[in-house]
Amino acid sequence: MKGVEESVMRWDLDHLSEKDAWHVLLSTRDGAMEDRVGLKNLKSGTLVLLQDLDRVSGIPNKDGAGNKESFMRQCEEVEEYLSLVFHRIIEARNGVQIYLNNNRITPVDPFFVVEATQILQSHRLRDSNGATVLVEPFVMPHESKVTDRSAREKAGDSRDWVARQGFYIYRQDRLLVAGSWLGFRGWRKDEHHKLARIRISITNQSDDLWQIDVTKRKAAPPEQFKEALRKIGETTRERAKRVYTFRGSRISPGSAFEMKFVWEQVVLHGQTSYRINREHPLVLAAKESGDAPSLERLLKLVEDCFPTHLIDPNPPDDGAAESVSPAAGDDLEVRKMLVTAWHSLKDKGLDHPQIMPMLAAWEPFNAHPALVAQLHSNPPY
């Protein structure tokens, strides 16, 4: 890289063996920098160069013996690993680009979202360090509902879906645990629950509680969260089983846009409470406008969407958590909220065809498809 300062850090097993000490060398091996393929045209970057590998099958040894096909299969496994573990980092705005043998790695997101994907109620748990843990349950669509070619590519081979069910634990957007039921008794990876996937996002503040070591290859939930995660998992597994049983028939309205729920569940020191989602678009719109009518609509939103299904001491046997619909006679108020939200998105530079699918995925509008359809036909220009 021209005009850029270069720094080198190197582990050399021969040197470690000779010196019997964990020395990090700050210089390259003779001739090593000749292998900096791909870096010359970059303003910045990091090259990981592996040399003299004597424990990887397929690499030619001193006698010239080796198996190129075996070595290339291992390279493919490394590429698959990187594409999954770092997919959120690659996909992020201004994300990191990763190349393996000069081939750019394509991210693989296990939570592909298509029209039939069900995004269930998210939960924010607070740990003893004060850090927030975000838990997002998904029910993936039945394979018969994934008809678009690009969506099928994102979904991967449906024969692998049984292995992909379970919890996925991310730390700072890096995947640590991929598809595990976290040892909950009686929960096995079977065909009936293969559509259930739950995303857990933690920060580096929680490393000790989640038993994360320097390898960043494992994590275990703290005791204070196990009961909450078990309940979330039960609901998600039951929903997934119903979708699988009915071959993908939709249990509740779905959308390729992210669902926006009014309430959030907070678990702190084993105690559960509920708070208004400060990121709900209507809440944000009211904060920005600061006028009395918007605040009144916000209060109405709170009243109409009180989460009875979360605090009912006698929930339905099937464990499915359905949102409470606003009162039937309040269509006028819902219409006003719809228009407020429409103008808020319009002010952000979106056009009408972009706005309407988003509103259809937000609570409480997802319970009023007729009002959404009316607004779609008659936008409030």
Encode pLDDT of 357-373 as tens digits.
Answer: 888 888 788 888 889 99
pLDDT at residue 291, as a whole number: 67
Q: Where are the beta strands (DSSP E) in 11-119?
A: 99-100, 103-104, 118-119
CB atoms within 10 A of CB 373: 12
- Does residue 264 surpass a pLDDT of 80? no
Domain extents in the chain: 13-104, 118-245, 280-377
373 versus 306: the higher-pLDDT residue is 373
**Closest C-alpha to 362, from 280, 293, 298, 291:** 280
User: How far, in Å, CA of 137 to CA of 330, rounded?
Assistant: 30
pLDDT at residue 3, as a whole number: 62
pLDDT at residue 271, as a whole number: 64
- Mean pLDDT lowest for which of 12-16, 133-137, 285-289? 285-289
pLDDT at residue 184, as a whole number: 94
What is the tens place of the pLDDT at every residue in 183-235?
999 999 999 999 999 999 999 998 999 999 878 888 999 999 999 999 999 99
35 versus 375: the higher-pLDDT residue is 375
pLDDT at residue 17, as a whole number: 86
- Does residue 251 surpass a pLDDT of 50? no
Which range has the top average pLDDT, 242-251, 264-273, 350-359? 350-359
Q: What is the mean pLDDT of the chain?
A: 80
What number of helices (H) and strands (E) belong to the chain?
A: 12, 10
pLDDT at residue 228, as a whole number: 92
Distance of CA 69 to the CA centre of its chain: 34
Contacts (Cβ under 8 Å, ≥6 apart) of 96? 86, 89, 90
User: How far, in Å, CA of 285 to CA of 341, rounded?
Assistant: 7
- Mean pLDDT lowest for which of 29-38, 270-279, 292-301, 336-345? 29-38
What is the tens place of the pLDDT at every residue in 53-83?
777 776 766 555 567 788 888 889 999 999 9
Radius of gyration of the chain (CA): 25
